[in-house]
């Protein structure tokens, strides 16, 4: 799961033009200004990375990288 958390952190940093060290996995993605366009792009990236279909609202349903990583790890474990 640490790999997934790190990957998510790097993706969010990339979308926002920030260094990954500036992104805390326990802070709401909305706090960083992640908008619906980037949230939708992130969902597509997650699907490609994990080869797993996910709901396009997942970034809003799980508002932090920590919560999102936990949710995605559980989905991966179920398949």
Q: Which domain holds residue 51?
A: 2-78
Mean pLDDT confidence for 65-74:
96
Do residues 15 and 42 lie in contact, with contact meaning Cβ atoms separated by under 8 Å?
Answer: yes
Contacts of residue 23, Cβ cutoff 8 Å, sequence gap at least 6: 9, 12, 13, 16, 32, 65
Looking at the structure of the chain, the number of domains it has is 1
> Could you tell me how many residues make up the chain?
79
- Check residue 34 and give its pLDDT: 87
pLDDT in tens, 32-50: 988 889 889 999 999 999 9
pLDDT in tens, 1-23: 789 999 999 999 999 999 999 99
The CATH number of whichever domain residue 62 belongs to comes to: 1.10.1200.10
Helices 36-50 and 2-16, axial angle in degrees (round to 10): 140
């Amino acid at each position: 799961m640490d790999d997934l958390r790190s990957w998510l952190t790097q993706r969010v940093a990339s979308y926002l033009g920030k260094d990954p060290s500036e992104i805390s996995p326990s802070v709401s993605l909305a706090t960083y200004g992640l908008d619906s366009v980037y949230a939708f792009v992130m969902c597509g990236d997650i699907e490609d990375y994990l080869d797993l279909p996910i709901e396009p609202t997942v970034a809003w349903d799980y508002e932090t990288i920590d919560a999102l990583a936990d949710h995605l790890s559980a989905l991966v474990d179920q398949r």
